[in-house]
Copies of this chain bind each other. A is one copy, B any other.
Amino acid sequence: MNKICTGAEEAIRDIPDGAVLMLGGFGLCGIPENCISALVKKRVTGLTCISNNAGVDDFGIGLMLMQQQVKKMISSYVGENAEFERQLLSGELEVELIPQGTLATRCMAAGYGMPAIFTPAGVGTEVATGKETRRFNGKDYLLEYAFEADFAIVKAWKGDTMGNLIYKDTARNFNPLMAMAGKITIAEVEELVPAGELDPNMIHTPGIYVHRIFQGKDYEKRIEQRTVLSKK
């Protein structure tokens, strides 16, 4: 059992054109920077990307958009990205917008072997178009299907050689959910430690869900909205 890769290039080596990818992160927080760089370098194209956001013009998934590697984005919020907007309006890029909780739960459903879930998000709105609605206890819910991806690419804070992952603060977000939903799950971590060094009670993603792991490098961790207390 060897899950360890030397780096992002090896970890993403077999991602083909046209693959369906999940990419963890919320905004620019907790995104798999190393794998995104490697995908940009590899110039794999025709990708469907399931990710809560689409990065900004010069960081995150924005870097892949810049090279027109993405055919379709499935996201909940895609603002703050001029090139994205241009491709969308020109018809080069397909976009499916879904509520954030629905996105999260559809990933979790795949990891839990549940083919579909019920959520009230979007009932009575255009999101409900063409979807099955069902009433439980007097409230309407939409039937939403589990999301699966050929590759799920996530970023964690610490990981071990068995693939166990721990996330830090709000960089957790979609990462543990997508980690469960990949046919192949690739994890990049800030610190890779030998099996046995992480407290088994504190594992967020058990290694069974992780197929490849490597210690990333040169994390920029860009801040999108730097806000500080104003001086009194």
Chain A residues in contact with chain B, CB under 8 A?
A: 105, 112-120, 136-137, 139, 141, 145, 166-169, 172, 200-202
Give the residues in chain B near A145, CB-CB below 8 Å: 136
CB pair B169–A201 under 8 Å, yes or no, is: yes
CB pair B117–A168 under 8 Å, yes or no, is: no
Give the residues in chain B near A202, CB-CB below 8 Å: 201-202
**How many identical chains are in the complex?**
2
Q: Give the distance in Å from the alpha carbon of A228 to the alpha carbon of B116 in the complex.
A: 43
Give the residues in chain B near A113, CB-CB below 8 Å: 119-120
Most chain B CB inside 10 Å of its own CB: which residue of A114, A119, A169:
A114
Main secondary structure of the interface of A (DSSP, over half): mixed
**Distance in Å: Cβ of A106 to nearest Cβ of chain B:** 12
CB pair A167–B115 under 8 Å, yes or no, is: no
Q: Name which residue of chain B comes closest to A120, CB basis.
A: B113
**Distance in Å: Cβ of A165 to nearest Cβ of chain B:** 12
Give the residues in chain B near A112, CB-CB below 8 Å: 105
CB pair A114–B115 under 8 Å, yes or no, is: no
Give the residues in chain B near A119, CB-CB below 8 Å: 113-114
Q: Give the distance in Å from the alpha carbon of A114 to the alpha carbon of B143 in the complex.
A: 11
Give the residues in chain B near A166, CB-CB below 8 Å: 201
Cross-chain pairs A/B with CB under 8 angstroms, 17 sampled: A105-B112, A105-B114, A113-B119, A113-B120, A114-B118, A114-B119, A115-B118, A115-B136, A115-B139, A116-B118, A117-B117, A166-B201, A168-B201, A169-B200, A169-B201, A201-B202, A202-B202
